[in-house]
């Protein structure tokens, strides 16, 4: 089996998300995964990132042995509530991030499906931090997790062969015939 692990794929995706947002949104003073807004001094405007879910994808088995998953992420965009124009600044930042994610399609350097923006919405007032206004941008990314069984062959699918029942399986490998080169 290949050496890709779910954790190496997750690490690469997290790094790609953070790097892409930092590069595109230089106005964010903080771009960071898994930081609580109340964990000390927070430079704003801030983009606090988190992976919030991992669901099984619709295409549950592609024959690779990998988990076809849909990862759900959120970006919590926070600004100081006392700043002049903060309400509109916050909404612009959230909608701009959501639009950019939609147009980006995929994060560079990480094989995945297309980004799907789910929502941009205000944080629940009960969860709000004092002195901060926050909007949440949610999106999902379909991705394959784990090693790919076909990578043992250096990415090349071995020569396809056939046999007829009951002479099938490993015990009957000598009965298999290669498919013709021009077979459909």
Question: Which is it for the CA torsion 93, 99, 104, 107, positive or negative?
Answer: positive
Cβ(137)–Cβ(72) below 8 Å? no
> pLDDT digit string (tens) for 116-153?
999 999 998 777 788 889 999 999 999 988 887 766 65
Q: Are strands 30-33 and 46-56 parallel, antiparallel or unpaired?
A: parallel
CATH 3.30.2000.10 assigned to domain 6-148? The reply is: yes
Helix (H, G, I), strand (E, B) or coil at 43: coil
Q: pTM value?
A: 0.77
Cα(35)–Cα(32) distance, integer angstroms: 6
Backbone angles phi, psi at 6, to 5 degrees: -55, -35
Helix (H, G, I), strand (E, B) or coil at 88: helix
> pLDDT digit string (tens) for 61-90?
667 788 899 999 999 999 998 888 899 999
> pLDDT digit string (tens) for 5-50?
778 899 999 999 999 999 999 999 999 999 876 677 889 999 999 9
């Amino acid at each position: 089996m290949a050496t890709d692990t779910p954790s190496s794929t997750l690490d690469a995706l997290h790094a790609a998300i953070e790097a892409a947002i930092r590069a595109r949104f230089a106005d964010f003073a903080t771009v960071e995964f898994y930081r609580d807004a109340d964990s000390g001094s927070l430079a704003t405007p801030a983009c606090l990132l988190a992976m919030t879910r991992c669901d099984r994808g619709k295409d549950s088995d592609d024959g690779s042995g990998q988990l076809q998953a849909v990862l759900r992420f959120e970006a919590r965009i926070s600004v100081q509530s006392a700043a002049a124009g903060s309400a509109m600044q916050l909404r612009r930042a959230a909608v701009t991030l959501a639009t950019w994610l939609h147009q980006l399609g995929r994060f560079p350097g990480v094989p995945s499906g297309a980004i799907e923006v789910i929502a941009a919405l205000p944080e629940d007032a009960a969860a709000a931090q004092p002195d901060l206004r926050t909007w949440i941008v949610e999106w999902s990314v379909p991705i394959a997790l784990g090693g790919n069984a076909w990578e043992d062959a250096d990415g090349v699918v071995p020569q396809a062969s056939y046999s007829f029942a009951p002479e099938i399986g490993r015990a009957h490998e000598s009965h298999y015939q290669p498919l013709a080169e021009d077979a459909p």
